[in-house]
């Protein structure tokens, strides 16, 4: 578990797995970690998924029938891969679009068993907070296969190797353009 002292005072702990969130008068006031350690806090922010937070850590006390139905019936959002890169140039000539720019790839980008002929690229040249002057952040978002990555995660070296391959494949595709 890592801890840092925030600029405004107080500590932030990372890498601690929470078992229970303590609530008093409708406000989160602390947590119990899986190792039994209890921490009390002025502010508790869950970095877990909604289901784990609502149904496990809060003990289902804040879940109404609408939320229960959502978790029972709605489909899970598909798995995505996000690759962000900093580029030493700008792209003002490219459109600023929610859908991004589609690049045709040769060779095709292969992730698992799926080959991609195109990737969508989202340039952020319009946002000065995303990169210094004269540079741009590009974001590539790819749909993916959750089961593929979950199985790969059983072997951390293979998982990291595939992440590196995706990163290099995306960079190679961007360099073509």
Residue 33's φ and ψ, nearest 5 degrees, are: -85, 165
Residue 112's pLDDT is: 79
Q: Which of 121, 123, 85, 84 is nearest to 101 (CA)?
A: 121
Residue 164's pLDDT is: 94
Q: What is the mean pLDDT of residues 138-151?
A: 90
Q: Tokens at residue 71, please?
A: 């978790």
Give residue-wise pLDDT tens across range 8-43: 667 777 788 999 999 999 999 999 999 999 999 988
pTM above 0.75, yes or no: no
- For residues 105 and 118, the model is more confident at 118
Whats the size of the chain, residue-wise? 177
């Amino acid at each position: 578990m890592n801890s840092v002292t925030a600029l405004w005072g107080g500590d932030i702990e990372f890498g601690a797995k929470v078992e229970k969130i303590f609530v008093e008068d409708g406000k989160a006031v602390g947590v119990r970690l899986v190792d039994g350690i209890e921490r009390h806090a002025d502010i508790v922010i869950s970095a877990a998924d909604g289901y784990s937070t609502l149904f496990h850590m809060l003990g289902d006390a804040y879940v109404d029938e609408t939320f229960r139905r959502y978790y029972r019936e709605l489909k899970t959002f598909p798995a995505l891969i996000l690759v962000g890169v900093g580029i030493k140039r700008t792209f003002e000539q490219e459109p600023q679009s929610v859908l991004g720019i589609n690049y045709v790839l040769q060779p095709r980008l292969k992730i698992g068993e799926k080959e991609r002929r195109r990737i969508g690229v989202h340039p952020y040249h319009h946002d000065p907070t995303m990169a210094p002057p004269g540079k741009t952040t590009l974001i590539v978002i790819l749909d993916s296969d959750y089961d593929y990555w979950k199985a790969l995660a059983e072997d951390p070296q293979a998982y990291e190797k595939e992440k590196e391959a995706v990163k290099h494949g995306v960079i190679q595709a961007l360099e073509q353009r």
